[in-house]
Amino acid sequence: MPSNKILLIRGLALDLSLLHSYLLPMFDIMRKNNELVIYKRYGYCIGLTCSYNVGNQLVQCIVPDNCSLKYAKELIGYTRLHLYHKLMKKIKMKPVYGVTIPASPMDKFIITVTIYLSRNTNYYRNTIKWVRKLLEQNCLWGKCEYSGLTGSYLLNQLYTVIDDIRKIFMYKSSGDRWVREAVLLLGVKGFGTKSVMAYLLHSYGLTRYAPIDRYYYEFLKSLGFKGRLPVKNKCITASLNPDNCKYRQKCLFYEAMKRFDEYNGLIQSITYIINRLTRKNRSSIIEEKLIPASKAEQYVSYLNEVIKKLDDKSLTK
């Protein structure tokens, strides 16, 4: 008979790690006193349930029979938690809150749609609601009425390109599949370099890639980085490999990747978390469920100390 498996992980800050995640629309988020509970309602590993005790930083997951322990670790980011510990060791800080990158290659189509609908809008108030509605109505895999899903130019744009996105994931390819997918996604109208870096980071957990949002851009410039934002057609020509790009010396993405290497995506995530938590007003109940306002200041104080130490040249590869 099918039986659930138990996964116990200590030191992984599930609340912080989900705050910046494009997997968020696939989870139900609940809070019971000092405990965060998440339930995987959509996509791969449906039924995965994890509780996170903020006090002792213990994650306990009930892994259903349709999900392996290995994949459950990938989903909640345990696979990449070692990067956080390595980073803390390099900058000589105590690893207090284990920030990591949840990823799910099997959910890459849903993640792609989520990223596409997160452009120039409030992720927590709008994007999560739209994606969950699309999933509820099974609109991602076939035609539907899109009931209650109109009124935004982002949704209208999605409806014109969703077939193109589907086709990208229909065919198997040899070699590095993610390279082919990422380059083809750059050919989709509205899917730029920031979006494709987010796709690689949150679908496959490739932490050398980092979307340069306005928070990360400001952080990099504060460190004296001189490069410019990556250009879409140049990234396509180079197949997203900076070593193949003759313009790489002028590219901010190459500069960040060269300096931070495997920590690039993690550092970008930390800068996003800090800026999100320092906002005075919460935009949705989901944010408050993930991290109550009373806890935010404590997190920000610690993560700011991390950021201050990242100009240490020891991070250079």
**Residue 255 exposure: Cα atoms within 13 Å on the Cβ side:** 19
Residue 23 confidence (pLDDT): 98
Residue 129 confidence (pLDDT): 93
Helix boundaries (H) for 117-176: 128-136, 153-168
Task: Inform me whether the pLDDT recorded for 172 exceeds 70.
Answer: no
At 119, list the tokens: 């452009």
Residue 51 confidence (pLDDT): 97
pLDDT per residue as tens digits for the range 87-141: 999 999 999 999 999 999 999 999 999 999 999 999 999 999 999 999 998 888 7
Three-state SS string over 50-84 comes to EEEECCCCEEEEEECCCCCHHHHHHHHCHHHHHHH
Residue 145 confidence (pLDDT): 63
At 150, list the tokens: 């109109």
Residues 70 and 43: beta-carbon distance below 8 Å:
no
Residue 173 confidence (pLDDT): 60
Residue 113 confidence (pLDDT): 97
Residue 315 confidence (pLDDT): 65
Residue 111 confidence (pLDDT): 98
pLDDT per residue as tens digits for the range 194-248: 999 999 999 999 999 999 999 999 999 999 999 999 999 999 999 988 889 999 9
Residue 316 confidence (pLDDT): 55
Task: Inform me whether the pLDDT recorded for 9 exceeds 80.
Answer: yes
Residue 55 confidence (pLDDT): 85
Q: How confident is the model at residue 311 (pLDDT cuts 50, 70, 90)?
A: confident
Distance, in Å, from the CA atom of 122 to the CA atom of 188, rounded to the nearest integer, reads 22
At 138, list the tokens: 């099974």
Q: Which residues of 248-276 are buried (b: 16+ CB within 10 A; e: fewer)?
A: beebbbbbbbbbbebbbbbbbbbbbbbbb
Residue 148 confidence (pLDDT): 60
* Backbone angles phi and psi of 3, in degrees to 5: -140, 145
Q: Which residues of 79-115 are buried (b: 16+ CB within 10 A; e: fewer)?
A: bbbebbeebbeebeeeebbbbbbbbbeebbbbbbbbb
Q: How confident is the model at residue 293 (pLDDT cuts 50, 70, 90)?
A: confident
Q: How many other C-beta atoms are found inside a 10 Å radius of the C-beta of residue 159?
A: 13
Residue 294 confidence (pLDDT): 84
Task: Inform me whether the pLDDT recorded for 174 exceeds 80.
Answer: no
Q: How confident is the model at residue 310 (pLDDT cuts 50, 70, 90)?
A: confident
27 or 288, greater pLDDT: 27
DSSP state of 227: P
pLDDT per residue as tens digits for the range 25-75: 999 999 988 899 999 999 999 999 999 998 888 999 999 999 999 999 999
Domain boundaries of the chain, sorted by first residue: 5-90, 105-263
Residues 264 and 209: beta-carbon distance below 8 Å:
yes
Residues 6+ apart with CB under 8 A from 141: 166
At 102, list the tokens: 């949840």
Residue 313 confidence (pLDDT): 57
- How many residues appear in the chain? 317
Q: Report pTM.
A: 0.94
- Nearest-CA neighbor of 90 among 254, 257, 260? 260
Residue 144 confidence (pLDDT): 67
DSSP state of 4: -
Bridge partners, 137 (sequence order): none
